[in-house]
Amino acid sequence: MSTPFLRSTIQSSLLRRSIFRTSTIQQNIRQFHYTSPNMTVHNISTTEDWKAALKNNKVVLLDCFATWCGPCKAISPMLVNHSNDEQFKDVFFAKIDVDELPEVSQELGIRAMPTFMLFKDGEKAEELVGANPPALLGLLKKGVEA
């Protein structure tokens, strides 16, 4: 007598799960959009690329990171969000891996990761050491000021 009841309970539970799963997938699909970001964070892989970035852009924000650095990984999405922000459209966002470009990191005097450097007209204007989101935002605002 309990077997039909148990069987119907299991079937209705499976039905509820499949309905819920379908509606969740449909909600996720509806939220996705195909717009491209305004800007990107450029990965600098050679010394020549770095020199060209400084020469060709009025304001450059450089993120000096390492792949093994936890705080670097934590703040990276915030940097990408700022690069897509309209108020920072004139800032060239760049990243260098200090392990891949040791000559650039030595030239810049990198002591810790992450280190953010703001360059104006090819000259270093500001520096921020550490993963501090409010300070990073402040550094970017200094970059867009006249």
Q: Which of 64, 66, 69, 101 is catalytic?
A: 69
Is 47 strand, coil or helix?
helix
Alpha carbon distances (Å) from 27 to 22, 30, 36, 135: 9, 5, 21, 36
How is residue 122 annotated by DSSP?
Answer: T
64 noted as active-site residue? no
Q: Which of 66, 72, 131, 140 is catalytic?
A: 72
Contact call for residues 78 and 116 (beta carbons, < 8 A): no
Contact call for residues 121 and 104 (beta carbons, < 8 A): no
Q: Which residues form the catalytic set?
A: 69, 72
